[in-house]
């Protein structure tokens, strides 16, 4: 439990081969690491709970080869990383739940990275996610569900690589894509059933595009 001060490590394993939990819950706390593995080896289980303070790491693996869970639950929390993998290697399972705070990605967010991986990201509440590239189902299977919050993306890729399967579902909050929704190589589904979706470029390519299909949907879509 990190409830104040600074934790600095080249590498952190939260659930290396067994079960591990790290809880960061104070605005005065800072965690700085080069690599963070939450659920490192096959059969391991890791949980990281960030409710306040700052987490900084160039690379985060939420479900490296095992099962990883990351929860970000408050407006005073900030996660800064160059790359975040949610479900990295084959056989891994990653879950990222953001209900508040700010997550800033320098390079790319991958949800379901490798073949045989499964990843899910849920954005809700007052959470804010900013990333140059957001890949949902890269080589693996990825789902992104947004019921609230703010999602600012330069390039969105759904089913971005061979064999990948991605589903992006929005029922609330706001999504802004400033470059393009990249052409899928795998299978891609974009469901917009609520909230505001803005595509400021003129390029969108998905396998399945569904807008306002649910009863009572209230959608604003701008391209």
Q: Round to whole Å and give the CA distance between 161 and 19.
A: 32
97-106, 175-184, 186-195, 196-205: least confidently modelled range = 196-205
Q: Round to whole Å and give the CA distance between 10 and 199.
A: 38
Token output for 60 = 């985060």
Residue 91, C-beta contacts closer than 8 angstroms, at least 6 positions apart: 42, 65, 116, 117
pLDDT category at 215 given cuts 50, 70, 90 is low
Q: Round to whole Å and give the CA distance between 136 and 74.
A: 24
Question: Which one has a higher pLDDT value, 62 or 181?
Answer: 62
32-46, 125-139, 142-156, 202-216: least confidently modelled range = 202-216
**Mean pLDDT within 160-164:** 92
In this prediction the pTM is: 0.95
Residue 109, C-beta contacts closer than 8 angstroms, at least 6 positions apart: 83, 84, 86, 121, 129, 131, 133, 134, 135
């Amino acid at each position: 439990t990190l409830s104040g001060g600074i934790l600095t490590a080249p590498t952190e394993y939260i659930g290396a081969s067994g079960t591990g939990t790290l809880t960061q819950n104070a605005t005065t706390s800072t965690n700085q690491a080069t690599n963070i593995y939450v659920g490192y080896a096959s059969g391991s289980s890791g949980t990281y709970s960030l409710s306040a303070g700052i987490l900084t790491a160039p690379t985060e693996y939420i479900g490296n080869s095992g099962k990883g869970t990351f929860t970000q639950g408050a407006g005073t929390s900030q996660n800064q990383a160059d790359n975040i993998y949610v479900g990295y290697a084959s056989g891994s399972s990653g879950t990222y739940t953001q209900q508040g705070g700010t997550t800033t990605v320098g390079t790319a967010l991958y949800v379901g990275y490798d073949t045989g991986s499964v990843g899910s990201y849920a954005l809700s509440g007052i959470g804010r996610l900013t990333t140059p590239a957001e890949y949902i189902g890269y080589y693996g299977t990825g789902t992104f569900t947004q019921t609230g919050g703010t999602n600012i993306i330069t390039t969105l890729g759904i089913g971005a690589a061979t064999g990948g399967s991605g589903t992006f579902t929005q029922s609330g909050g706001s999504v802004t894509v400033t470059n393009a929704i990249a052409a899928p190589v795998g299978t891609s589904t974009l469901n917009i059933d609520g909230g505001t979706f803005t595509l400021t470029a003129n390029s969108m390519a998905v396998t399945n595009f569904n807008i306002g299909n649910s009863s009572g949907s209230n959608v604003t879509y701008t391209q």
